[in-house]
Structure 1
Amino acid sequence: MVEIGRVFFYPEKDKRTLNKLTVVTLECHSKNVEKLVDKWRLKGDVQDISATSELLKEAARKHDNGKPQKFKLKYDFLQESFIYSFAGHRFAVYEEHPYLNQLIRLHHEFSVDSITQAKSVLNRSKYSEFVDNFQFDLYTLEMCDQIEAETASYMFTGNAEPRVFMEFSGERLNENTVAIYPYPFKENPITLTFDYCEVYLDKPYSITEDISQNKNKPFGTLELTKLSKKLKEKLKNCKVRHKEVQLCTLQK
């Protein structure tokens, strides 16, 4: 069965009815992030951090392993849009290696406090010699994760989504090419492969199906349990398609 990495929605004009979703697989997302991590070029004078390169790549492979059990589809009434959530997925994964575990736990935050706490954990472990590499590896993982996500948004919607901590800008040059500025990778261009399923519902889904099951009048967001069930059923027999995308330097 396809594990869900990202979802794109194609609502009807009334914004509350849906008949198509595109699901990007979790496996391809993880592979793409690992590839970007491997090609990342550190800027400035940074000490040799190659001792943790394999741990960083392993973190890229495993950083979203908690997503399947945290997946929810929702409707946001304020934005009038279908959304999805993996809230808490970082904490649904535990790795015995403390360096790997801290990278996974923190891959959506980058603050002085969180990094200080992670370094404290590492200093108390038998891997204290790696502690000075941590902030560089965490930054690399976060940026590669977000660049991959922005690339997917460009490829499947034509637009990028605002992302926290994103220090790079992108531009869709054509249907198969996204330029990144400043370009942070050792190779130019880099090819990413997106595996995805186009899911067509048997009949248009309306959020009223889930509203009727909700005893309280919905406001804010509403979890769409019926739609989630339909999507997962469809994914059991859905054809997986493939799309290659090139990342390259943006000429300015």
Structure 2
Amino acid sequence: MQTAAASAAFWYLRNGMLIHARNGVQARPWQLILVIGAQTAAFIAMPDHGDVNDPVAYIHQSLPTIAGWLFIIFYQSTILALSLDSLRILRNDRRLDALCFRAGHALTALAATSELIGVTIWHFVGHSNPASRVTFSVFQMLFYPGGMLIASAYLLIWGRKIARTAPWQFRQRYLQHLLTRRNIPARTRQRDGDDQLLAAYEMFVVVSNHLNIGDLVLTERQQRHVERIGSAIDAGFSETTTRVAQ
């Protein structure tokens, strides 16, 4: 279950890299099913070791067998292939979060390579030895920091999204407050997080309409604030248009 979950996580991470790179092509689910199926078949073929309850010890005792070796080979090869593909997808992206993604996937690719070497040495020698122990230590030193860098990249994306949408949410709520304090319905279409600029624009149009017909009266300070919001909306649409054109 752990290896299947990890394989699925890296598969979805790679799809996330495609989305992050604005690439419309995504891997098909049957590819993930095929990989997990191969891992499951190798696991089922592994011999029973009696009263061994520790999963790690069970895998280690199975490494001299073909099934145990193939189980880890399938698992780490999947991690390696998905990490390398993620690096390929983001190779030209210079954003800070993309740099964190690339560093994280580079570490996980190196970690998977080290693990592949280690289990192969263990399998053909027939037991643990200094070379295999070194490769497993390298795996642990690289894999978990790689995962932390990938998680940090997602935190950067989340923070950037908040920084982009929060100002528009505040502006929309201010405009809504101007209407509700006069008991004027402030109905606009519900928008998701990425459409907060459009939501603020729609609320601005509602406020402008009520100002024009005279049922909404603002103080001079409120009027200046509304005008600044209108200017910010114009600038926001101009920036969005420029970004799309690029």
Bigger share in helix: 2
Please tell me the TM-score bracket, short chain as reference: under 0.3
Q: Which has the higher strand share?
A: 1
TM-score, L = length of structure 1:
0.25
* Structure with greater contact order relative to length (CA < 8 Å, sep ≥ 6): 1
